[in-house]
Amino acid sequence: MDYLAFQEHKNLLSMGLHRLDLADWLIPDERLADQVRLKQALWRDKGERVFSALPSSDAAQREVARLMADHLPRRFPTLYQTTADGLYCTATGQTQSWHAARHPLLPLSWCVQEDLCILEPDDGDYRLTAASLAPSYWNLLEKVGHTLDAVHGPVPGYEEQLSHKVNRFFERIKVDRPVWRGNWSVVTSDRLYQPGGEESEPIADPDAIPERCHIRTERQTLRRLPETSAVLFTIRVAIRPLSDYLEQPQVLNDLLDTLSGMSEAERSYKSLHLLEPALSDWLSGQSRSFASRD
C-alpha cells in the first residue's frame, strides 16, 4: 500500500503517472471498519468540511455510485453484497442506501477507505464539484466549485511548470485508461483529518524526529466516467511512523535527497519548514550511521 513517491520522483511537480489495473482501483484492508467509522464521525462533527457537493454534480455522483456498487461486490464478494436497500459491507455491518440519497457519493464513500472527488469539465476547465474526504493541509470549502488551477494555486511553481500539463492530461483521460500516482508528506500527527496543517507542531530536536514524525502517503487514482465525462479522483491515505523505516536506509536516504533538492517555498507548502533543520539533521545522522556499517 505504501508507495513512497519521493523514491521515484524527486521533483515535487512530477506527475508520476502509472497505468491502473482496475482490479486494484479500490483496496480495502483490515482498517476498513475503523476508517469508515472515522469518516462518519467526521461528517457528524465537521459537515461540509468533509463532504460538499454542487447541484451540478448530481448526475456524476449517481454514475460514481453505480460504478462502485457494481465493482465492489464483484471484486470483493465476501466483503460487499448488493441488497434491495443498497450496498452491504460485512466489515462495517452497515448497508448504505444510496439509490434515493440526495447525495449518493456520501453513503458510497462510507463503503471504502478512499477519499472521493469528482471533477467535471466546464468550458475547457475542470472543476471540483463534489468530494467526500479528510483533507490534509487544505480546506474543502475553499476548493469546491473551483478549477484545477485554483485548487492547486498554493503549490509552488504549479502555474508556471505544471498547469498546462495537468489540464491537457485531464482533457485526454480515456475511459479505458485509468491511471494512478503517488503523493507524500511528513507530518507530526497520525490523524487522517489534518486541514490546514493545524495538527503539525514545530520540532527543534533531531532526536525527537523518529518518534514524533510520520510519513503520510497517498495513492491517487483517476478515471474517466463514460456517461458524464467527469473524472473521479480517489485518494487512499496511509500514515506510518518514521521509526518504521529505521532499518530501511534507502528510504531515509531518498527522503534526505528529496528534502535537499526542495526550495524554501516547496518546504513551506508541505509544512516541512516546521521540522527543519531537525529532520534533515536526523536523516543525515542516519545516513552516516548506515555508511559506517558497510
pLDDT digits (tens, 9 = 90+) for 223-264: 999 999 999 999 999 999 999 999 999 999 999 999 999 888
pLDDT of residue 266: 87
Q: Strand 231-241 to strand 94-96: parallel, antiparallel, or no bridges (unpaired)?
A: unpaired
**204 Rama sector, left if φ>0, alpha if ψ -120 to 50, beta otherwise:** alpha
76 versus 136: the higher-pLDDT residue is: 76
The C-alpha cell of 279 is what? 529532520
Residue 108 to residue 66: CA distance in whole angstroms: 9
- Strand partners of residue 53: 130
Contact call for residues 220 and 209 (beta carbons, < 8 A): no
What's the sign of the alpha-carbon dihedral 207, 208, 212, 216? negative
Answer yes or no: is pLDDT of 293 > 90. no
Average pLDDT estimate for 127-154: 90
pLDDT grade, residue 152 (50/70/90)? confident
Answer yes or no: is pLDDT of 154 > 90. no
- Respond yes or no on whether the N-terminal peptide bond of residue 277 is cis (omega within 30° of 0): yes
Amino acid in position 66: R
pLDDT of residue 139: 86
The C-alpha cell of 232 is what? 473521479
Q: What is the pLDDT of residues 56-67, one digit of tens each?
A: 999 999 999 999
- Which stretches within 135-223 are classed as H helix? 140-143, 148-151, 163-172, 209-212
The C-alpha cell of 39 is what? 469518516
Answer yes or no: is pLDDT of 1 > 70. no
Q: Which of 20, 3, 2 is nearest to 221 (CA)?
A: 20
Q: What is the span of the domain harbouring residue 115?
A: 5-293
Q: Which of 221, 210, 218, 293 is nearest to 252 (CA)?
A: 210
pLDDT of residue 118: 99
Residue 224 to residue 228: CA distance in whole angstroms: 9
> Domains in the chain: how many in total?
1
Place of cell 471504502: 112
What are the residues whose beta carbons fall under 8 Å from the beta carbon of 104, sequence distance 6 or more? 61, 62, 64, 65, 98
